[in-house]
Structure formats: structure tokens, C-alpha cells
Structure 1
């Protein structure tokens, strides 16, 4: 009898102790839902508006119809985009520029982080601090000096069997790629992730005769999947969303990326339905990329935060 009373008392105390957590859990759920809606509703509005004519877009703004596929729904805005903007050329340019930037960025930034994390370099902490300090400087302050510099740089050009040096990088693909390969945050992210991998693996590999590059290629990089995914996303996004830099350095239409194509819709008549359709088409690759690497992205950020 005493045992039963004690057990019931414990159950009651446990139940009482859990009661305050219910309101907290409810409030947390409400806060997460509201925050999710803040980010999701503009995307829903963009996709829904891309299916409506301009007159209906403005007519539905004052109600929930703005987020619902009701009224005159069609894909006319999407077909009109292809007649107004060379979107396929812009998409190919952005895909190529972003892919090359990501691949070279992964290689260059991971090698730099590997050297600072694993190799014995005098003053490497100071070097890492200086690299991180460059994050303070906004790109806008460097844009004009960078334009001058890239216009002075030479480039080796192959014409048949002749090798000649050209002057200036303006209005080329390389001016949209090379200045953005090295990234301070990517170096820092790789460095923090490499530091979380036991160095005993390096010592074991060195005893087996492996060199530094072998350790980098066969040990650290295969174990750094989350960091690779995160750096790939963080490198892809600025390359895909690049707008200011291409306007400054690109004049030829066949070299422009997708973000510059938005300017075409503000010439003559502004067609908001076509703008929504165009932005929907150029947003889909970003959403697909983030959804595909979402778990690795979150794991890498979490592990870096704990290590840092």
C-alpha cells in the first residue's frame, strides 16, 4: 500500500513538473510557424503571381487570393519571358559560371584551410586572422578598384598554333569567375571542420608513407562532406545572384548572367507577371540545391559553431 502511494505521488509530481513545458512548447511551435510563414509566403506569392495577368495581381493584393491560384490562371507569362529575354543563354551562362566558381572554390579554399590546419607553418594563426578580417570589408568598397585591376591583367590566348597575350579581362567569362574563387569564410569553415578531425589519422598515414596531398585527398576531404556541401551552397548563391559586378564589367549580351536579365523587364512597359515568372524560373535552381544539401548544410554549421 505504501509502495502504491509512493508511486502515485511520484507520478503526480512528474505530471506537475511537465505541465509548464506544454505552454512553452506551444509558444515555440507558434513562433516557428510564424517565422516559416514570413519566409515562405513571399515565395508562394511569387509563384502564384507568375500565373496571373497584371490586372489580377493588383486586384488580389488586398486579400488572401494573392496566395491562391484562383482567377485567370495560365502559363502565358512564362512563354512571354522567352520572347522578351534570352533566358536560355542567361541560364547557361549562370550555370557555367556558378559551377566553375564552386568547383575551383572548393579546391582552392580547402587547400588553403588544409595548409593552415595541418601543416607546420610559422605564423599560421596570424594568417588565418588576416583572412577572416577581410570579411569586414564590403564588396562595394572593392568593386571600383577591382574593375581597374582586372582591366590591367594579361591573359594568354591561343590562336591556332600561336600564343599571344591579351590585355584586360573585361567582358569575359573569367572576370566573373576568378575574382570570386578564394573566399575567407569558406577557408574558415574548412579550417574549423578540419580541426575537428583527429590528427592521429594524419600521423598514421604519414607512417605509411603518405604525403600531405594524399592525406588531404584520401583522408580529410572524404570526411568533410558536410563542410563541402555548405561551402558549395555558400559559393553557389553569390555566383548565381551576382548582379552589381556583371553590370560593371560585362557589355555583351551573350555573356550576361540571369540576374542582369531582370533589367529587361523594366524597359518600356513593366510587366509584373512576366517578372514573377522570370524570378520563379531563376529561383528554382537555388531551392533545389538547398533542399538537396539541407541536412549537410545544417550539420556543418552546427559542428563549426560547436568547434568555434
Structure 2
């Protein structure tokens, strides 16, 4: 009886700790969503009471109507959506192809390349921000002007300057590499015996069996692209290409309505939550274990 009781107590303690941590992380989100339906005077009333974290009586959609009427939020949402989707699609294929070459092919120097990828995981973006800014300031980009097609020097004030530098992600490449290593090599050998080349093995054998890690990489790339703040401030001055994160700073400078600010924050938080919930099962499967156990 002692052992089952001890196990039960351990599980109960673990559950209590997890519930407490979940509550700590959920409370700011609950406050933000609840405040977005309230008037400015009611946002900070009685913060110690549970009613602060639910919409309550008298809630309205006025704050949401205001942010869509008074700000450029729809345009910013469209820009961020384009940037995030393009980054995810291109990033999943580029990083997985590099990981496939590192994990499933034999060629000279691959261990050096893998070492560089691992080293880049710990390099923060702030370290390369200024060199990257100097680079994109001198890169050409094809444009079509009144005189016909030509080249424009500098990538500033565009969507591609927010996409291309963030497609290659060292951490995602390493995730794919770790996952691909666990896929049985017999699958590759069987496909090669049937005449399949590396491209066919990658597309028809490896990627269809890599759903969990694809979902994990997609979440990482989407969240990273959606939450871009420092880089757009450095390269975007035009309203036409501004994403949502610098947009909320601009909106914050124009209004003193905390209800509207919370509504703005709620709107730009929902896509991240939706993406995570959509891929939650695959994400957990990727974290819990990788590859196909043969």
C-alpha cells in the first residue's frame, strides 16, 4: 500500500505544480483578452478579484471596432501573414533539404557544415543585425519600372527583406537532422534499389514520415516571423510594408486607451495561438520522441 500511495502523492504533487505553472502563464493572457472587452476605467479595477480575468457584464466590441477603424491593423495583419507563411513554406523545405544532405548522404565536409549549423544555434540575432543590415542595403533586387525591367539596389521597404534573411534557421535544421537520423536507413536502400534518386527519397520517403518535426519547425518559423520587431524597425519605414509588431508600438503612441491596446494585442496574439493549437499533437509527438522506431 505504501508504494501506490507514494506514487499517487507524487503524481498529485506534479499535477499541482503543473497546474500552478499553467495558471501563472495563462493569467496575463486572460487579463489581456478580458480587458479588450472593457472600457478604459474598468481595465485596472480591482486587479485582485477574479472578475478582472473574465469579460464580465457590460462587455462590448467597441475596442475591436475602434482598432480596425482608427489604425492600419488590417494592412499590418496582411503583411505579417504573407511574411510568416512564406517564411514557413520556404524555411521547412530549405532547412529540411540541408538536414537531409547532412543526415542521409555521405560527402566530404558534412561534419564541418554540421558543426557550423550547431554553432549558429547559439548566435543571437542582435549579433548579426548590423552586418545583415549593411548587406541588404547593397543587394540588388529586380524591379519593373516605367523604363522596363531593371535592378534596384537595396531591399529596404519590402516584404522580401522580412522573409529571405529568416528562411534559413539553424535550430530548425538541427531539429530535422536529429529526426532524419532516426528514420531507418533500410527505407533509403529499398528506394534506391527501385531506382530512386536522392530527390525522390527526400520527397517520397523522408518528408512523408516527418510530420511531427515539420509541424515543430513550422511553429518555430511562424512564431519567429510573426514576432519580428527589431528587424522591421531597422528596414521598414513605409506603412505599406509594416508588420503587426512595430504596428502596435505605433498604435500605442497614438492612443491612451488601454482597452484598445489590449484589443490590438489580442488580435495579433490569436494567430500564434491558433497555429500552436492546430499543430499541438504533432509538436508534442516531436518533443516526446523522434523518428520511426524500426
**TM-score tier after normalising by the smaller chain length:** over 0.9
Q: In the TM superposition, what whole-angstrom CA distance separates every residue of 1:193-240 from its partner, at most 9, and x where no partner exists?
A: 111111111111111111110000000000001111010000000100
1:12 matched to which residue of 2? none
1:53 touches 1:72 (CA, 8 Å); kept in 2? no
Which blocks of at least 5 consecutive residues in structure 1 are unaligned?
Answer: 1-14
The 3-state SS of whatever aligns with 2:149 is strand
Counterpart mapping for 1:42-61 below 5 A: 42-61=28-47
> Is 2:80 the counterpart of 1:105?
no
2:30 touches 2:53 (CA, 8 Å); kept in 1? yes
When normalised by structure 1's length, the TM-score is 0.91
The structure 1 segments of at least 4 consecutive aligned residues displaced by more than 4 Å after TM superposition are 304-307
Counterpart mapping for 1:193-204 below 5 A: 193-204=179-190
Aligned match for 1:291, one of 261, 271, 277 = 277
> Is 2:130 the counterpart of 1:141?
no
Aligned match for 2:249, one of 263, 267, 270 = 263
Q: In the TM superposition, what whole-angstrom CA distance separates every residue of 1:27-76 from its partner, at most 9, and x where no partner exists?
A: 11111110110111111111100011111112232322211322431111
In the alignment, the residues of structure 1 paired with residue 121 and residue 3 of structure 2 have an alpha-carbon distance, to the nearest angstrom, of 47
2:183 touches 2:291 (CA, 8 Å); kept in 1? no
Q: In the TM superposition, what whole-angstrom CA distance separates every residue of 1:152-210 from its partner, at most 9, and x where no partner exists?
A: 00112245894311111011111000000000011101111111111111111111111
CA shift in 2, pair 1:192/1:105, >3 Å: same
In the alignment, the residues of structure 1 paired with residue 254 and residue 225 of structure 2 have an alpha-carbon distance, to the nearest angstrom, of 29
Aligned match for 1:167, one of 142, 153, 156 = 153
When normalised by structure 2's length, the TM-score is 0.95
In the alignment, the residues of structure 2 paired with residue 161 and residue 120 of structure 1 have an alpha-carbon distance, to the nearest angstrom, of 49
1:83 CA drift (Å): 2.2
1:266 CA drift (Å): 2.5
1:244 matched to which residue of 2? 230
Counterpart mapping for 1:1-308 below 5 A: 15-159=1-145, 162-304=148-290
The 3-state SS of whatever aligns with 1:51 is coil
User: Is the deviation greater in 164-173 or in 261-270?
Assistant: 261-270
Which blocks of at least 5 consecutive residues in structure 2 are unaligned?
Answer: none
1:290 CA drift (Å): 0.5
The 3-state SS of whatever aligns with 1:19 is helix
In the alignment, the residues of structure 2 paired with residue 159 and residue 120 of structure 1 have an alpha-carbon distance, to the nearest angstrom, of 46
The 3-state SS of whatever aligns with 1:267 is helix
1:102 touches 1:181 (CA, 8 Å); kept in 2? yes
Which structure: larger Rg? 1
1:265 CA drift (Å): 2.9
In the alignment, the residues of structure 2 paired with residue 142 and residue 244 of structure 1 have an alpha-carbon distance, to the nearest angstrom, of 12
CA shift in 2, pair 1:19/1:96, >3 Å: same
In the alignment, the residues of structure 1 paired with residue 194 and residue 166 of structure 2 have an alpha-carbon distance, to the nearest angstrom, of 37
